[in-house]
Chain A
Amino acid sequence: MNLTIIISLVVFLITIFMVGLWASRYVRSSNSFLQEYFLGGRQLGGFILAMTMTATYGSASSFIGGPGVAYTQGLGWVLLAMSQVVTGYFVLMVLGKKFAIMARRYNAITLIDFLKERYQSKWVVLSAAFSIVIFLFSAMAAQWVGGARLIESLVKIEYESALFIFALSVLLYVIIGGFRAVALTDAVQGTIMFFGTFILLVATIIAGGGIDQIMTDLVNENPNLVTPYGAEGNLSATYVSSFWILVGVGVVGLPQVTVRAMSYKSSKSMHRALIVGTIVVGFIMLNMHLIGVFARPILPGIEVGDKVMPLIAQEVLPPWLAGLVLAAPMAAIMSTVDSLLLLVSSAVVKDVYLNYIKPSASEKKVKRLSIGITAFLGISVFLLALQPPDLLIWLNLFAFGGLEAAFIWPVVLGLYWSKGNKYGALASMLVGIGSYIFIDQYSKAYPKFDVHPVLTEIYQWFEPIMNILPGMMEVHTVVYPVLLSLLAFVIGSLLTKNKTLQ
């Protein structure tokens, strides 16, 4: 049993590695190293673009717990997950051609390049780079822990060895192949997720005796499982809808998403990616979460959410197929990690070093530095993930919501509102991240405020304001910071209108 799974996983890892090796030929032969390494030479076609986008959205969804929570909550969580269909078309339509054209005009390779040219401000660049490095580094480390845990549970080896295998396989192809390797492996990984989740869903339905039977079993166990309100009836419509911001439209602001929106070859690739992306995102989300719900009558009593997928696959599929299907969650984690690694590396090399430390660095030096920094970051993450410190776990919790609140308006309004300026952008980023952390901490302490006396004082001072805001304690933490950062952007830009005209 285990041996078959190991063989499947090894085959998967070797395939991924070959793709990286193939992509590295482009890195060596390209005449613009930075463009190629961090952006794949802006040559992505429609299919690859759709897949790499999908794989990236998938990371936001691992944030909502995926199949494990669906197992506990029932169809209500599938409803919530389907809020992600919107990402399939919304992101590329809204950033769209304008972003692609502007990125080319500015010769931008990263999101920060775009912000730098748009706002012409050192402070915007530095605070953006700072938040990307801090938040995404933590998010990445947390994903490594997840990847290693998955290998650990599948292959039954020590956590440290599992982490080592995971780190080695990711690092190899990212370091040598850059963005093109990341995008291509995303396409392989996305394809595996697409077919893997579908096969597993069908097998689960058969094992459960058909959908009718599964529904009857669920109703008999707890009728709430087939309502939109969750197993305990506490998923309110307001709460579930607020995920439209966190994992739906809000992902427009995520740096790992925006960088992809400047990487495609032509309008034609973008059009095709819109269609393919919508289909693939919706299909994977629907399948993946339905598997979680349908697994419940077949395997009752699973305590740890992360184990639902591995256990149900081993239960309903023949071993060799289970091995292949289980490469899917592994693929999901890898495809997240690889893009984050490259993004953090680009923030350090391109946005900080080349902009402010040594703009005149030679091509050869930049090349060595990029590869070196990527490797260095990868190894540091590995070391941190061996024994993840609390701070890292804490930062990871803010990573997606915090970055969305920080970047959504500087990007979107930067494109479509000519009056937006650097003061607005800076205010928007600070207010977005600040209010995100504050509201998160506040709602965790609410209503007892059993924290440090100074904090308690502050919280109590804010309590009347928080109570007035409709739905504050019900919606996901990301909602208000996104609204507040919009206000900050507009007010900041309008107040300083005269200043920037001179």
Chain B
Amino acid sequence: MKKTDLRFKVANREALIGVGLAIFNFVWWFGLAYGLGDRTPEDYTYIMGLPSWFFYSCILGFLIMVVLVIVAVKFWFTEVPLDDEGGNLE
């Protein structure tokens, strides 16, 4: 059963990466939206036509998440066989 333990170790680490990304995503989304958006609309600055809180939180935030997901998958995710037969981790 040792080989399956190894696969689960990979799986556990990747699940934690998912949780970490989600926490980062939330903090970014929340912090910028309410940090920059919590003032009277007359004082808003605009980037590419959109209020800065919206641009940073929703547009830039989305792009950053895409980049982070690509980086995480390419560098930290490991390919493992999913079937129990052939479950060698070499």
The residues of A that contact B19 with a CB separation of less than 8 Å are 90, 94
State which residues 1-42 of B face A: CB under 8 Å.
4, 7-8, 10-12, 14-15, 17-19, 21-22, 25-26, 29-30, 33-34, 37-38, 40-42
Chain A nearest CB, measured from B11 CB (Å): 4
Question: Known interface pairs A210-B49, A282-B62. Does A94 touch B41 (Cβ–Cβ under 8 Å)?
Answer: no
B69 partner, pick from A79, A219, A275, beta carbons under 8 A: A275
Closest to B49 in A: A211
Chain B nearest CB, measured from A498 CB (Å): 26
Q: Whole-angstrom distance between the alpha carbons of A223 and B44 in the complex?
A: 11
B54 partner, pick from A78, A92, A94, A223, beta carbons under 8 A: A78
Q: Count of B residues near A, CB < 8 Å? A: 50
Question: Which of these binds chain B: A100-108, A121-129, A306-314, A384-392?
Answer: A100-108
- Contact at B49–A97, with CB atoms within 8 Å? no
Q: Count of A residues near B, CB < 8 Å? A: 48
Question: Known interface pairs A93-B18, A101-B7, A271-B77. Does A85 touch B25 (Cβ–Cβ under 8 Å)?
Answer: yes
- Contact at B58–A286, with CB atoms within 8 Å? yes
Q: Whole-angstrom distance between the alpha carbons of A275 and B77 in the complex?
A: 12
Q: Is A380 an interface residue (CB 8 A)?
A: no
Q: Whole-angstrom distance between the alpha carbons of A146 and B73 in the complex?
A: 38
A286 partner, pick from B8, B14, B34, B59, beta carbons under 8 A: B59
A278 partner, pick from B12, B69, B80, beta carbons under 8 A: B69
- Contact at A89–B21, with CB atoms within 8 Å? yes
Q: Is A267 an interface residue (CB 8 A)?
A: yes
- Contact at A282–B51, with CB atoms within 8 Å? no
Question: Which of these binds chain B: A152-160, A224-232, A488-496?
Answer: A224-232
Nearest 5 pairs of A and B residues by beta carbon:
A93-B18, A211-B49, A98-B11, A223-B41, A267-B79
Using a CB–CB cutoff of 8 Å, the interface residues on chain B facing chain A are 4, 7-8, 10-12, 14-15, 17-19, 21-22, 25-26, 29-30, 33-34, 37-38, 40-42, 44, 46, 48-51, 53-54, 57-59, 61-62, 65-66, 69-70, 73, 77-84
CB<8 Å pairs between A and B, sample of 9: A75-B54, A79-B54, A90-B22, A215-B46, A215-B50, A227-B41, A228-B34, A228-B38, A228-B54
